[in-house]
Structure 1
Amino acid sequence: MSLLRRTLLALLPALLLAGCASSPPKEGVRITLVGDSTQTERQGYGTGFCANLTAMADCINRAKGGASTKTYRRDGLWDTAQWPKPNWMLIQFGHNDVQSAAHGDRETDLKTEYPANLRRYVSEARAAGIKPILVTPIARRYFQPDGKIIDDLPGHVAAMKMVAADMDVPLIDLHQISQDYFEQLGETEAHKLGATKAGPNGTIVPDKTHFNLKGSYVLGRMVAEALAHEVPALMGYVKPVAAQQP
């Protein structure tokens, strides 16, 4: 047996596996999450969202903590998100695109760069045969004395809605959905859905952006239900009853 033939035979299992991974499920769909930490498995709603999809949906989480529309591409994450190729892609950015001293390497200009980056993601996804869905950035739990939440991302939400309308992209307005829900719960109960972090002088304070496992399941269910509503073709891939937190 020639060296070339032996090499090809040795590589065959890996090649077959790669071929299977690159093809969408034969009888189902593959849905990929693209975004920042609020979408991840560890700090976001990703775990709960995937748990609320049926076995016919292959759910892949490619979200990355700290990512903005600029850094997600710059760091090579966008290329990774397209493999294995999904049928649908939920794209959510905004928190780290905000211009601030802390986000100097991540920030984007709200009027020009942020919407342009979103448009490019949508165009490239479609060119690759992927159907994009835009998701407005989830609301942070910064409550005012009157029980209302301080909306710190109105410009980014409006910009994403404009891109969705202009490009005829399905949109999940998670920002409004989550803000309404948190205000309905009230500050004390809303913080029970979140993680905690170190505060001043050794104190532990609520993390008003990210989620614990309970929060992931609650918000993940909301995103799944909104997905079924906004994209009827995917309704059959959302569990009819909310998944239970383990």
Structure 2
Amino acid sequence: MKKIIRNILAVLLFAAIFCLNGCSDLDESNEETEIESGSQNGEQEKDESDDEKVLNAEATEYLLKAGDSKELTLTDISLAASKTLKMDGEATWTVENPYICSINSSGKLTPLSGGETVVTGTLSSDSTKKAELKVKIEEPNRGVSSDPFDLRTISENIDIFCCGDSIMRDYSASDSDQYGLGQALKEFFDETKANVVTDIANGGRSSRLFYNEDSRWPEVKRRIQANNEAGKKSVVILSFGHNDQRALTDCDKTYGAQFTFASKNANGTVAGTHYDFMEKYIVEARELGAVPICVTPFVRGNYFGSEVSAYGKHDWSNKTMTGDSTPRGNYPAAMKAAAKKQGAILVDMTELSAVRVAEYNNAGKEKYFYVDSDNTHERTLGGLELGKIVTDELKKNGYLTSYIKDCSPRIMVDKSNLAFGRILANATKTTSFRISNFQNKSGTITITAPSGFGLSLSDSGSFDSVLTIETDENFIGTEVFVKFSPTEVISYNGDITVTHSSVTPDFGNTPAGTVDDSALKIALSGAGKELSVSGTDFTVNWPMISGGVAAFRLPQLQLLRMLFPQKLDLMVL
């Protein structure tokens, strides 16, 4: 029995040892297989890393190493507004074709148009160590979108976002009387139904810069989204063109280049053109649930004969900017083409304003439309004319008709005070102010001046204390000359009053003065002074008296200087 038990235990021990050895061999075999497999995967990952030359377009920052040859493909040129390239150490950057993209000294990459180019980074510490990035900007391929709601039938409250440049933006009251289209549109929409938003447009913005700048188009999109969440409809007015004509080197310090070509870049591509950006605005506004309205740019006061010139109408088909190799193209035509493709509402402000501006110019009244010494920006009267053009066109086509109202007629004065200072009694000094008329078809302007001051419609005409001006549909404006004629050595203070038979005058967008009941008042100040010969004696040499020495009082010397400006050489002894 004991022998049988020992034999059984021996068999069991042998079996256990066999199992342990077999399992150990199996585990080792499996382990070897896993390690080998892991090694293969590691090699594959390494190979993929070495071969991965196309960078992820979603990233905002890329690190390049000396010897790298990478590729970056962008399908939306706005994405690269925040792309940054870096190397291991300080580097200098160059770009093969600056029309495709630009790069600054900090490695910030800004795409400009469709096509391919190469960006090279060179380590400052060793100029032999370089990295290359092939940048490819793909052409846009957008489908046709449609308005999310109908501006012919909508009746609920809306926000109207005004997007544009210095022609569109708000202006504080100033002596220049500058006034934006957005400000004017507030006069033409019923504020109980339409909130006209004018705090996003700003001067110097091209269709490119406004799109990329965070506080511009991205802010409009954020506000549209907020309206969506609140159940409110949004309309977007888009008007660009003036600053798209900037030179290639004109750049915003944060957001890069301003320029665009109209429809085709210098290399024949479409991406990054005015057409491209306008189409992006239309499509993106609709994607967010807003209705876009395109407004071609207001003309510049540049003329060919009696009409606004092609350049004034932003047609650069035969004009290049410094640094361009080809003409920029026709900007209004580009916007029209984008709107036509997308079926968007369009107001041809360019052609319509060209007619109105030419009428002003041919009547010698252009200065009532544009800011002084500036044939680009509008005064209050010009802004109101533009607002009327936009709303008349919308009404004519049945858009927002229940939201648009008639703008009240206005008689506007561009000065709230006139300070003449101190002048000699019985001498005279003349200055002027302007009166302009918007939509007031008939009436009488009456202007009165206090003692010591006279009024005239000509600086060389007769001056009276009362002046009347008849207004009708052809009256644009006039300059009123004010003469100060003190007869005594006293202060002269008072007010010029301006009234109209049916409208209370206002100050336009110049600093406001007093409007008392129906009378506008321009504050006057001045003083008469006497010619004094008092002063301290001192001695001078006067070469006109050979060897002579004479004593004069200071006012007498001033008189001699006036009489003999080329001959009197004075030296204090």
Match of 1:175 in 2: 350
Paired AA for residue 238 in structure 2: I
For residue 93 of structure 1, what is the amino acid of its counterpart?
A: F
SS at structure 2 position matched to 1:182:
helix
Q: Which one of the candidate residues 194, 200, 210 is aligned to 1:57?
A: 194
How far residue 32 of structure 1 moved from its aligned partner, in angstroms, is 0.9
Give the match's secondary structure for 1:217: helix
TM-aligned CA distance change 1:183 to 1:37, over 3 Å: same
> Could you tell me which residue of structure 2 aligns to residue 44 of structure 1?
180
CA contact under 8 A between 2:182 and 2:196: conserved in structure 1?
A: no
- Work out which structure has the larger RCO, using CA pairs closer than 8 Å and 6 or more positions apart in sequence: 1
CA distance in 2, matches of 1:102, 1:177: 32
Distance 2:220 2:206 in 1: 14
Determine the structure 2 residue equivalent to 1:159: 334
Match of 2:388 in 1: 221
Secondary structure of the residue aligned to 1:157 is helix
Aligned-partner SS, 2:260: coil
Return 60-69 or 79-88, whichever deviates more: 79-88
Map of 1:114 onto structure 2: 274
More deviation, 76-85/174-183: 76-85
Secondary structure class of the residue paired with 1:51: coil
| Cα separation, 1, equivalents of 2:369 and 2:246 | 27
Residue 401 of structure 2 is aligned to residue 235 of structure 1: yes
Q: Distance in 2 between matches of 1:226 and 1:65?
A: 25
**Do 1:217 and 1:243's aligned partners in 2 also have CA atoms closer than 8 Å?**
no
Superposed counterparts of 1:1-246, under 5 Å: 27-42=156-171, 43-55=179-191, 56-61=193-198, 62-76=200-214, 77-85=216-224, 87-100=234-247, 103=250, 105-110=257-262, 111=264, 112=270, 113-144=273-304, 146-152=305-311, 153-154=314-315, 155-187=330-362, 188-196=364-372, 205=373, 207-230=374-397, 232-239=398-405, 241-245=406-410, 246=506
TM-score under structure 2 length normalisation: 0.35
Q: Distance in 1 between matches of 2:248 and 2:275?
A: 21
- For residues 36-58 of structure 1, give each alpha carbon's deviation from its aligned partner in whole angstroms, at most 9, with x where no partner exists: 11111224222111111112111
Structure 1: give runs of 5+ residues left out of the alignment.
1-25, 197-204
What code does the residue aligned with 2:194 have? A
One-letter code aligned to 2:358: E
Residues 141, 208 of structure 1: 8 Å contact kept: yes
CA distance in 1, matches of 2:409, 2:170: 16
Paired with 1:162 and 1:186, the residues of 2 have a C-alpha distance of 30
3-state SS of paired residue (1:175):
helix
Aligned residues: 210
TM-score (norm 1): 0.79
What letter corresponds to residue 186 of structure 2 in structure 1?
A: C
SS in 2 for 1:58: strand
Moved more, 85-94 or 102-111: 102-111
Distance 1:29 1:228 in 2: 17
Change in 2 beyond 3 A, CA 1:220/1:161 = same
Contact residue 360 and residue 369 of structure 2 kept, 8 A: no
SS at match of 2:163: strand
In 2: Cα distance, 1:208 partner to 1:100 partner: 19
Residue aligned with 2:376, SS? strand
Larger-gyration structure (1/2): 2
Does structure 1 retain, via aligned residues, the 8 Å contact 2:169–2:180? yes
Moved more, 184-193 or 163-172: 184-193
Q: Is the 8 A contact 2:243 2:259 kept in 1?
A: yes
Amino acid at match of 1:121: Y
Partner of 2:121: none
| Deviation of 1:221 (Å) | 1.9
Say if 2:370 and 2:382, in contact at 8 Å, map to a contact too: yes
CA shift at 1:83, angstroms?
4.2
Distance, in Å, in 2 between the alignment partners of 1:141 and 1:102 is: 25
1:43-89 deviations in whole A, cap 9, x for unaligned? Answer: 42221111111121110012110101111122111011234325211
Moved more, 211-220 or 94-103: 94-103
Deviation, 1:177, is: 0.6
Q: Over the residues paired in the alignment, what is the CA RMSD in angstroms? A: 2.0
CA spacing shift, 1:244–1:79, aligned 2, 3 Å: farther
**Which structure carries more strand by proportion?**
2
What's the offset of the Cα at 1:214? 2.0
- Matched to 1:75, the amino acid is E
Gaps of 5+ in 2: 1-154, 172-178, 225-232, 252-256, 265-269, 316-329, 411-505, 507-573
More helix by share: 1
% same residue: 24
Q: Is the 8 Å Cα contact of residues 50 and 59 (structure 1) preserved in structure 2? A: yes
